[in-house]
Copies of this chain bind each other. A is one copy, B any other.
Amino acid sequence: MYPIITLTTDFGEQDSYVGQMKGAILSVQPRVQLVDLNHQIPPQRIVAGAFELWRAWRAFPLHTVHVAVVDPGVGTARRIIAAHIKGHFFVLPDNGLLSFILAEESVEEVVEVADPRFWRSTVSHTFHGRDIMGPVAAHIASGVPLRKLGGELDAADLVMLESRLQDGDRRDRPFRCEVLHVDRFGNVVLPVRGELSGGGRTIHVSIDGTSLALPAARCYGEVPNGALVLITGSSGLWEIAKAGGSAAEHLGVEVGSEVELDTGR
Contact = CB atoms under 8 A, between A and B. Distances in A.
A43 interface: yes
A232 B127 CA distance: 11
A116 to B, nearest CB: 17
Interface in A21-69: 21-24, 26-27, 30-31, 33-40, 43-44, 52, 55-56, 59-61, 64
Interface string A120-141: 0000111100110000000000
A19 B37 contact: yes
Contact of A184 (B15, B23, B26): B15
A125 B20 CA distance: 32
Contacts of A115: none
Given A19-B56, A124-B232, 11 more contacts: A4-B30, A14-B183, A20-B37, A20-B55, A27-B60, A33-B34, A74-B220, A74-B221, A126-B233, A130-B234, A131-B234
B222 A75 contact: yes
12 contacts: A14-B183, A15-B52, A16-B38, A18-B36, A20-B55, A27-B61, A30-B61, A74-B220, A75-B221, A125-B218, A125-B232, A130-B234
B56 A23 contact: yes
Nearest to A43: B185
Contact of A19 (B19, B38, B231): B38
A231 B127 CA distance: 12
A234 to B, nearest CB: 3
Interface stretch (A5-13, A79-87, A143-151, A204-212): A5-13
Greatest chain B CB density within 10 A among A73, A75, A234 is at A234
Nearest to A72: B244
Given A75-B220, A231-B125, A37 B60 contact: no
A59 B185 CA distance: 30
Interface residues of A, number: 65
A209 B149 CA distance: 49
Contact of A14 (B38, B56, B60): B38
Interface string A221-236: 1100000000111100
B35 A26 contact: yes
Contacts of A61: 23, 26-27, 30
A1 to B, nearest CB: 10
Given A14-B38, A14-B40, A16-B55, A76 B221 contact: yes
